[in-house]
Amino acid sequence: MARPLIHVRRVHAGQHQDLVDLWVAHRVETGASPEATARMVADGTVVASLQRPGVIALIALADNGPAGYLVLSDTTSGVFVDAPCVAVDQLYVSSTWRRHGVARHLLSAVAAHADRVGAEQIVGHVPAGLREANRFFARLGFTPTVVRRVTTPGALHRRLAGAGEQQASSGTLEQLLRRRRSARVRALQGAASGLGGL
């Protein structure tokens, strides 16, 4: 079987439909509700996200049909670091086209973009639970640098309130134990002074 002809192009305004279709397949494949996914497409959230400043969407066409997409952003590697960096936010290849070099073609386009903008690093945001994707990025020389942990504001408020209560109760317990030790020391000193009079 001949290798497919793979071509990567940037997605411009008004050309989002193939990428949106792949995004829907990606979301559903990773367990998102088809209804919620359809709502995000219908209300324009997906296209609006792709049109944010600094966001670049690439689509891979294999034999002239959509095979995968990649979304990247131009950024810096940290708040206090001025060095430009390119971040791969999402990478997806349709199940039909996996193991045909589609992801490699998309990442080659990222490397070329990084060279053009003078980026010193390329960062891949890979979900921790996707072992195969993590192995793929590791084979290409991506090394782990930070662990991103995620929570909701409500959960953080609850945890912080719980930690505060735990610290307060632990402080109260500590005070109680201190008072008991002091009382025991006083009792022993009183007993010793009473014995001294014998």
DSSP 62-85: ETTEEEEEEEEEEEEEETTEEEEE
Residue 104 resides in a domain? yes
127 and 155 co-located in one domain: no
Residue 106 resides in a domain? yes
Domain span at residue 159 reads: 151-198
pLDDT of residue 136: 93
Residue 189 resides in a domain? yes
pLDDT of residue 190: 65
pLDDT of residue 182: 83
Residue 146 resides in a domain? no
22 and 68 co-located in one domain: yes
Identify whether the C-beta of residue 116 lies closer than 8 Å to the C-beta of residue 74: no
Helix axes 17-29, 34-42, angle to 10 degrees: 160
pLDDT of residue 162: 82
Residue in 124, 169, 172, 120 with CA at minimum distance from that of residue 145: 124
135 and 180 co-located in one domain: no
157 and 121 co-located in one domain: no
Residue in 108, 88, 106 with CA at minimum distance from that of residue 97: 106
- Where does a domain end: 139, 167, 190? 139
17 and 43 co-located in one domain: yes
Along the chain (198 residues), what's the average pLDDT of each consecutive run of 10 residues? 82 87 91 90 90 92 91 76 84 92 95 92 88 92 86 93 63 77 76 52
C-alpha 51/C-alpha 68 separation (Å) is: 19
pTM exceeds cut of 0.85 = no
